[in-house]
Each structure stands twice: as structure tokens, then as C-alpha cells.
Amino acid sequence: MVSEEHTEGLDFVKTHQPCNDCGSSDALSVNVDGSTKCFSCGKFTPSQVTEVEEISDDFLQGTIMSIQARRLTEDACKKYNYSVAYDPKSNGKACHVANYYNMERKLVAQKLRFADKTFKCIGNPQYFYGQHLWQNGGRKLTITEGEIDCLTVAQVIGDNKFPVVSLPSGAQNAKTMFKKHLKRLEWLNKFDEIVLMFDMDDVGQKAIEDAAHILPIGKIKVAKLPLKDPNEMLMKGMGKDLVSAFWDAKIWRPDDIICGTELFERLTTTKIFETVSYPFNGLNNKTHGCRKGEITTFCAGSGIGKSQVCKEIIYHFLKTTDKKVGYIALEESIERTANSIIGLELNKLLHLEPVSVDDTYTEAFNSTVGSGRFFLYDHWGSMESDNLLNHIRYMCKALEVEYVVLDHLSIVVSGLADGDERRMIDNIMTKLRALVEETKIGLILVSHLKRPQGTGHEDGARTHLSQLRGSAGIAQMSDICCGLERNQQAESHANRTTIRVLKNRFSGETGVACQVEYNAETGRLVEVDMAQETNQPTGF
């Protein structure tokens, strides 16, 4: 593989060349600086003459004139020695010639632009176009993407008296060009301000971000144009607008640095949170429902019923909304998961009895698992985390799934090669948080708890955020954390679970949300009216 540092800033001037290393007849490309890259064997060969300026004998002798098709005056073309010539090596075709000079004002390269918008380079342009004209610096320097835009801005703003230059090899190589000049010449630092007037397309705007992170902070200004580039504005009679864009250029700042004065509209616009309800009223009262873009974690000791709670929630989503849902159960087969959901519809524990395929079962299947809105991941046990994340991403982006259950986190971690569980949990939680922000899904996550001292969770011990596995990643990355508490050995209410909200980033409301009772005959969880209960389970 070719590393990123070997491919950054490449601008190929010859392609489909033979490669001496692998024998390919047409996979080699030659960069403008003489370096090569083979797209067959992947070998990159750095330029051996990067800093050597070879004067070519093939330079064209052009004629300076106005370029009417671009509304460029003869004075502007004369200032930058932009000429028209015929290239004998291109069957005598006419072309524009942009002459590149070094700082000793020696001609070192020419860029030829033909009528069909193809380009050819003679020599190696290592300087900005027009740089030799402004060696002493000044107050403002304007940098455009191409030579025609350079001439346009120079002509319109200040009648060719303001410093204007352009990139030698396009916006895609802006980052490399600026790095080279800051390191080698310090020429850019001779100007008080640098106005970047790049094209308004995605490539040009990305080049601004790349360049602005390299150039001195506070010196960079960005001009916003109403059309794609300066010459288009000139050709459409918008010279005054171009002048305004130049003088109105704003100091660059990263997109994620926001001035408070810009927030009024965002603060006063009503935000609508898309929320779906849980099947338990008490949990809805505390959390105000389940939202997309959030991670909700249910945690408990072993055998408390985390998976059953999640299945009730997903079943509720299927029956009360039109949302598509995904269920990733890593401790059981997809057949077991699917029949569990169908069993909730039938009020039966289907895994305890042979499945009888009749009209009732078929109807239950069609309204839940077979609705076209329920998706599973056919994998059991440990797995590579990035593979899992890609499957969740596919569910969301390709299948339009909006809510996903991941049951459970410890199985994901057990598949990783690194033996440090704390670090692995924190890493996977960071990736899950980024995935939720990217896809805006609602992620319902299941996690085990660390064993407490004294009474265990299986005996009804109260849950705490500090008992979550890992250093603190699960608690920090989750928007809502709910602990499940049940005394499995209690003489009464052994099937009753308390759901406690441990963290609530949305509203801040925490504490006991509700209690649910498991019916061993139907497999259903039913919310208990706590106001009418006098005997509370251990740990409540």
C-alpha cells in the first residue's frame, strides 16, 4: 500500500506510463515534481530533483494580447506575461501560456492551457504564479486557484497594482504548496493579510480549510463569492461585486468556533426532539421517552432480565410506531431472538415448546419479525468491533433502521485481541458514540456491572454508575443509564424488577422510574402500580 504521505499533493502530468518495477505497460503516473506512482504495484518513487530548477529548452515564445473570451485586458496579461502561442508538440494547437518565474526572475516553467481545457506543463512550477512580481511583500496578498482568476482579480481590484498570485497546480495541492513556502521561503509572512479567494465548490472550500490550518493564525481572510470563481463574475459584469467580496473578506476561523452573536436564531428556533415512548409509563416520566441520536444503556448483574426489557421495548416500537428497528443479540441465535419477539405478540414462551405454524403464528410473525421493519445480525459470540460497527452503519444508512439494540457490550469486548478490558470498553464506547452522532440512530445498549462488595446484584443490590465496566467510558458516553435491580432469591416478588435511572443527560431526572413484573407463563413484563404496593423488593 502507498502511504498517505506519498500520495498527498500529487498532480500527475503524465499518465499510463510503463513501470520498470512490476512490468506494467500503463500503470505508472508522473507527478509535476518528477516523482512517480505505479497504480499496479503501488510503488512510489520520490522526485530526485525537487529542489533543482532546470531551465527547459522547450519554452514557447508567445504573444501578449488581451483575452477577449475571458475579458482580460492586455495590461493585465502584460503584467503577468500571460501570452498566446502555438505548441509544435501538440500539432501546432493554439494555447494560453502562463509563465512561471523563480525569485531571480528566471523563467522556470510554463503551463499551457488549450481551448478544450486540457493542460500541459513545461518545466516544474514550484512558485506561485506571479510571485516574482511581489517579492517585497505588502499589506494584502490575494491568492486564487488558477492563473485566469489571478489576472481577473489583479485587473479588477487596483488596476494590477495589488499583489495577486495563484496556485501552480490547483486547489487539491494547496496544502502542499503552503507547507513548502512556509518552510523554504517565508515569503508569505511578508504580508500583513492573506486573502484566499478560491472557487466556491467543495474542492475549493476544502482547500481553504487545509491552507488556513497551516498559515499564521489571524492573518488569513476568506473571500466569499456569489458565483463559482472571479473570472465568472467578471464575464457576467459583476466586477463591483468582486471588489466588495475582496474588501469584505472575513478573518478565517474554524467552522466549529462560533461567536455568540451568531446564535440568536438557533437559540430561538423551537427544537423538536423525535421521541418514541417506552412500554413503561414510569420510565417515560423520568426519561421523556427514547430519542434518536442518544445512547441508552441498561445495566444489571447476570440473569436480572436486561435482554427481556430490551425485547419488550423493541416489540413496543414495532407495535406502536412505523420505525425500522435492528436487534443484535450476541448471546443467542437469531432464531431465539426472533421467536422471543413473536412470543411477546402471542404471550407465549416459544422456546419452551415446539413451534406450531398455524394462522395465529403466521399472523404474529407478519406483524412483528416479518413486518419488513425488523432486522437482525446473524452472528453469535465474540467479534471484531469495527466489523460490528460497519454492520450497524449498514442497517442505518442502507436499510433506514432508526433504533438498534446491542446486547451486549461485554461480548463485543471479549472478541478483541487487547487484554486491557478497561481500555477496550472505553475505545468501543468512543466508536459507538461517534457512530450514533454520524447516523443519528437511537442506540439501546446492554452492559454488565462489576460485582459489588457484600450483597450481589443477583440478590437485589442497588445499582450505581460506578459499577459500570471500564474506567468511565460507558457512563460518560451514554446519554441515559438505567440500572435493573431484582432479588432472584426473594420469597416474594422474585420476578419483580426495579428500573432505576442512574444518569439522564436529557432532563436530569434520576431515581426509581418503575417496577415491572415478569409473567413466567406468558413471558411478558407488566408494569406494577408502585403506589398500591407496600412490600418493596430488596434494594429498592
Mean of per-residue pLDDT scores for the chain:
86
- Tell me the three cell numbers of residue 27: 500503470
Mean pLDDT for 490-499 is 90
Q: Which of 113-127, 305-319, 322-336, 383-397 has the lowest mean pLDDT?
A: 383-397
Q: Which of 98-112, 162-176, 309-323, 418-432 has the lowest mean pLDDT?
A: 418-432
**Do 137 and 116 contact (CB within 8 A), yes or no?**
no
Mean pLDDT for 244-267 is 82
Mean pLDDT for 492-498 is 91
In this prediction, residue 80 has a pLDDT band, given cuts at 50, 70 and 90, of: very high
DSSP 350-364: GGGS----SHHHHHH
Nearest to 77 by CA among 157, 148, 166: 148
What pLDDT is recorded for position 182?
A: 67
What pLDDT is recorded for position 179?
A: 78
What pLDDT is recorded for position 6?
A: 37
Mean pLDDT for 74-90 is 94
Residues 97 and 87: their CA atoms lie apart, in Å, by 10
**Do 426 and 473 contact (CB within 8 A), yes or no?**
yes
Mean pLDDT for 50-69 is 75
What pLDDT is recorded for position 362?
A: 95
Residues 130 and 105: their CA atoms lie apart, in Å, by 10
pLDDT tens figures, 413-447: 765 555 677 888 888 899 999 999 999 999 999 99
Q: Work out the percent of the chain whose per-residue pLDDT is above 70.
A: 89
Mean pLDDT for 178-186 is 68
DSSP 117-141: S-EEEEE---S-BTGGGGTT-EEEE
What pLDDT is recorded for position 337?
A: 94
| C-alpha gyration radius of the chain | 33
Residues 286 and 37: their CA atoms lie apart, in Å, by 60
Predicted confidence (pLDDT) at residue 387 exceeds the cutoff of 90:
no
pLDDT tens figures, 16-37: 777 777 777 777 777 655 677 7
Q: Work out the percent of the chain whose per-residue pLDDT is above 90.
A: 55
Please report where in the chains the cell 503552503 appears, as a residue: 178
- Tell me the three cell numbers of residue 142: 490575494
What pLDDT is recorded for position 383?
A: 59
Q: Which of 174-178, 343-347, 531-535 has the lowest mean pLDDT?
A: 531-535
Q: Which helix (H) or strand (E) holds 19?
A: none
In this prediction, residue 57 has a pLDDT band, given cuts at 50, 70 and 90, of: low
Count CB-CB contacts under 10 A for residue 433.
17
Q: Which residue has the higher pLDDT, 422 or 121?
A: 121
In this prediction, residue 153 has a pLDDT band, given cuts at 50, 70 and 90, of: very high
pLDDT tens figures, 443-454: 999 998 888 877
What pLDDT is recorded for position 10?
A: 39
In this prediction, residue 185 has a pLDDT band, given cuts at 50, 70 and 90, of: low
What pLDDT is recorded for position 46?
A: 64
Mean pLDDT for 378-402 is 82
What pLDDT is recorded for position 184?
A: 56
Mean pLDDT for 356-375 is 95
What pLDDT is recorded for position 493?
A: 87
pLDDT tens figures, 237-251: 999 999 999 999 998
Predicted confidence (pLDDT) at residue 87 exceeds the cutoff of 70:
yes
Q: Which residue has the higher pLDDT, 155 or 379?
A: 155
Predicted confidence (pLDDT) at residue 51 exceeds the cutoff of 60:
no
- Tell me the three cell numbers of residue 83: 501570452
